[in-house]
């Protein structure tokens, strides 16, 4: 990878390489855009096969956070960290303390949180060295486990999609096929069940499936069977890239809306489902409840306030549909356009402000 060429092409601001020999820390912090505010994005620990693979992942994820935060209406930019190592065997206190010192050195330009391979406990360790970390333990006045709040955001996003697809956001009597019944999806199923939706579920974890069957009256199906079931809404809540050439022909749902990241295997699959008359809710818009929740910690966490902000996902999803219809583009492109328009508006506003300030100063001279 030609790093500077890549950064220029996608307008990245900064990449920081961090290492600590004593603890074994090898980390990459990528800051994509801070137009809206400090870059917020989690720390992922993964056993990457190469340093180049880690760098590419950090850059890709950082850009995704710019769009996610912008679309969520947050006054935050996008960044991400990857730590190279096996999260099961390579973690130690010294590593996260050293990483916390690197974050502190950025003086608030980047704020981190947990991600794949890291935990609330890891964030607490980072917090020993810096205040620029979210998702720490409630004992510190923070939000703790984000899964219930993420699920609530997906739930209100599904309601907005139902309004667009069926003319009403009421989910009573609707059938929702939920792929994956992990932490987020379990809470999503609870919300759907309480509103009277019928659930079809699948997961590799048979205990998680049985829990949904017992508590919510869900019908269980095999992993590969979930795509072709008769349902109104398909909610991918596990793996990415599940909307692809093999699965699309099986779909009977009118709406795709779930918590999983990167649901489209390729962008073109967003075009395909649109042409089939299936309404796709872009994942980074509907699953933003977690980042909205941890962002509230920056103001002194208040759960009621955070949940009120998460309810705004309903309007954000509706705005995506509005742009899609206005510009005759697929919804995944409309979500990007919504984020880009917000960033562009603030850039213009700042530019005009600076021009006015320079004009005033020149007149004083």
**What are the pLDDT tens digits along the chain (365 aa)?**
789 998 998 899 999 999 999 999 999 999 999 999 999 999 999 999 999 999 999 999 999 999 999 999 999 999 999 999 999 999 999 999 999 999 999 999 999 999 989 999 999 999 999 999 999 999 888 887 788 999 999 999 999 999 999 999 999 999 999 999 999 999 999 999 999 999 999 999 999 999 999 999 999 999 999 999 999 999 999 988 999 999 999 999 999 999 999 999 999 999 999 999 999 999 999 999 999 999 999 989 999 999 999 999 999 999 999 999 999 999 999 999 999 999 999 988 777 656 665 656 666 66
Residue listed under structure tokens 């017992």 = 214
Is 80 one of the annotated active-site residues of the chain?
A: yes
Q: CA 310, CA 330: separation in Å to the nearest integer?
A: 24
CB atoms within 10 A of CB 166: 16
Q: Which two tokens stand for residue 168?
A: 């009403």
Predicted pLDDT at 256: 98
Question: Strand 43-46 vs strand 77-84: parallel, antiparallel, or unpaired?
Answer: parallel
Task: Write the CA distances from 54 to 86, 127, 143, 239, 346, integer angstroms.
Answer: 13, 24, 29, 20, 31
**What are the tokens at 362?**
């020149």
Instruction: Say if residues 77 and 35 touch (Cβ distance below 8 Å).
Output: yes
Question: Catalytic residue among 26, 80, 159, 174, which?
Answer: 80
Instruction: Say what the pLDDT of residue 364 is.
Output: 64
Which of 16-21's residues contact partners 24+ apart within 8 Å by CB, and which partners? 16/102, 16/106, 18/98, 18/99, 18/102, 20/94, 20/95, 20/98, 20/99
Report in angstroms the alpha-carbon separations of 292 from 53, 152, 190, 242, 328: 28, 12, 21, 25, 29
Measured between alpha carbons, how far apart are the two ends of the chain, in Å? 48
């Amino acid at each position: 990878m030609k790093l500077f060429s890549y950064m220029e092409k996608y307008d990245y601001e900064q990449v920081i390489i961090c290492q600590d020999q004593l603890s074994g820390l090898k980390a990459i912090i990528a800051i994509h855009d801070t137009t809206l505010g400090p870059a917020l994005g989690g720390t992922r620990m993964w056993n990457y096969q190469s340093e180049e693979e880690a760098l590419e992942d950090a850059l890709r994820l950082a850009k995704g956070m710019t769009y996610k935060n912008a679309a969520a209406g947050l006054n935050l930019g996008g960044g991400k960290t990857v730590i190279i190592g096996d999260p099961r065997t390579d973690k130690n206190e010294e590593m996260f303390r050293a990483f916390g010192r690197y974050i502190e050195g950025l003086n608030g330009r980047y704020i981190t949180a947990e991600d794949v391979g890291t935990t609330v406990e890891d964030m607490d360790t980072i917090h020993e060295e810096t205040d620029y970390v979210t998702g720490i333990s409630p004992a510190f006045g923070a939000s703790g486990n984000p899964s219930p709040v993420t699920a609530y955001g997906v739930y209100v996003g599904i309601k907005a999609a139902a309004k667009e697809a069926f003319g009403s956001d009421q989910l009573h009597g609707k059938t929702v096929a939920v792929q994956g019944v992990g932490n987020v999806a379990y809470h999503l199923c609870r919300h759907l069940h309480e509103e009277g939706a019928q659930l079809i579920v699948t997961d590799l974890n048979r205990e998680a499936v049985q829990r949904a069957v017992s508590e919510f009256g869900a019908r269980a199906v095999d992993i590969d069977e979930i795509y072709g079931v008769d349902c109104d809404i398909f909610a991918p809540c596990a793996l990415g890239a599940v909307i692809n050439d093999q699965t699309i022909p099986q779909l009977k749902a009118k709406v795709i809306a779930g918590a999983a990241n990167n649901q489209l295997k390729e962008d073109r699959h967003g075009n395909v489902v649109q042409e089939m008359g299936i309404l796709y809710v872009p994942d980074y818009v509907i699953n933003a409840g977690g980042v909205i929740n941890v962002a509230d910690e920056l103001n002194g966490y208040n759960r009621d306030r955070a949940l009120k902000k998460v309810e705004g996902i309903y309007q954000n999803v509706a705005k995506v549909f509005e742009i899609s219809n206005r510009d005759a583009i697929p919804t995944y492109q409309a979500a990007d356009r919504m984020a880009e328009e917000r960033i562009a508006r603030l850039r213009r506003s700042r530019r005009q402000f600076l021009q006015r300030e320079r004009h005033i100063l020149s007149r004083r001279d």
